[in-house]
Each structure stands twice: as C-alpha cells, then as structure tokens.
C-alpha cells in the first residue's frame, strides 16, 4: 500500500524540448494500482507526464513530491482520491493548476 522512492535518481525521465524540463513517466507505477501512499521526494524531476499512469493510481491518498525541483503541476489534479500532497521546497513552479472540476485540490 506504501512505496517510498525518496532520493532515488534513476527514474525513467523524459526530456520535453518544448518546455525544456525533465518529466517523470507516471506509467512506471501502473502495476501498483492499490498504492495509497507514494514518496518521490528529493528526486529532482521537474514535472510528471499526464498519461494513463495517473488514472491507474485512483487509490492514491498521499503523494510526497517535496524537494523535486518541480516547475509544473500538470497532471497532479487527476489523482481523484488524493488527500495529502506535499510540494514543499519546489520554489520554481510556474505552470499548472491543482484545480479539478471547479474546486481546488486540498
């Protein structure tokens, strides 16, 4: 139910030449559909792919993205059951929104 990959730097990143950022491919977590808590802190990717991997994590309640160097929030609002989101020490977030269906993710 919990997976901690804090300070793991060898993820499957993809470089987006349009935005010039390194993105984490969330489809890596497809096999973990029952996952409720995911700690990806201190990995220094700048955003996440908005793809089918996000939809498969529908049980995710806690997501720690602290100290990742995020610059975009794209796709994070798609975690429909998320209750706790840690974005601490991501000082350069310039794009994206946590708004979902007219309300903010809290």
pLDDT at 56: 74
Residue 7 has pLDDT above 70, yes or no: yes
- The band of 61, judged by pLDDT with boundaries at 50, 70 and 90, is very high
Q: Confirm whether 69 is domain-assigned.
A: yes
| pTM, rounded to two decimals | 0.74
**Does residue 82 sit within a domain?**
yes
Return the pLDDT at 68. Answer: 83
So what's the pLDDT on residue 67?
87
DSSP-assigned letter for residue 51: S
- Residue 105 in any domain: the answer is no
Q: How many domains does the chain have?
A: 1
Mean pLDDT of 36-40: 92
Taking CA atoms, 98 is separated from 9, 72, 75, 93, in Å, by 25, 10, 8, 12
Which of 37-41, 50-54, 75-79 is predicted with the least confidence, judged by mean pLDDT?
50-54
Mean pLDDT computed over every residue of the chain: 76
Residues 55, 35: Cα–Cα separation, whole Å: 12
For residue 104, being part of any structural domain is answered with: no
Question: With bands split at pLDDT 50, 70 and 90, how would you rate the model's confidence at 10?
Answer: low
Asked whether residue 106 is assigned to any structural domain, the reply reads no
- Cα(51)–Cα(63) distance, rounded to whole angstroms? 17
Domain extent at residue 49: 2-97
């Amino acid at each position: 139910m919990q997976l901690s990959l804090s300070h793991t730097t060898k993820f499957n990143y993809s470089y987006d030449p349009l935005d010039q950022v390194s993105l984490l491919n969330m489809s890596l977590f497809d096999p973990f559909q029952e996952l409720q808590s995911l700690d990806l802190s201190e990995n220094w990717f700048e955003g996440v792919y908005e793809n089918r991997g996000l939809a498969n994590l529908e049980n995710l309640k806690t997501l720690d993205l602290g100290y990742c160097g995020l610059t975009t929030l794209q796709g994070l609002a798609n975690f429909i059951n998320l209750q706790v989101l840690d974005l601490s020490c991501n000082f350069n977030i310039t794009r994206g929104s946590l708004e979902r269906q007219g309300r903010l993710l809290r």
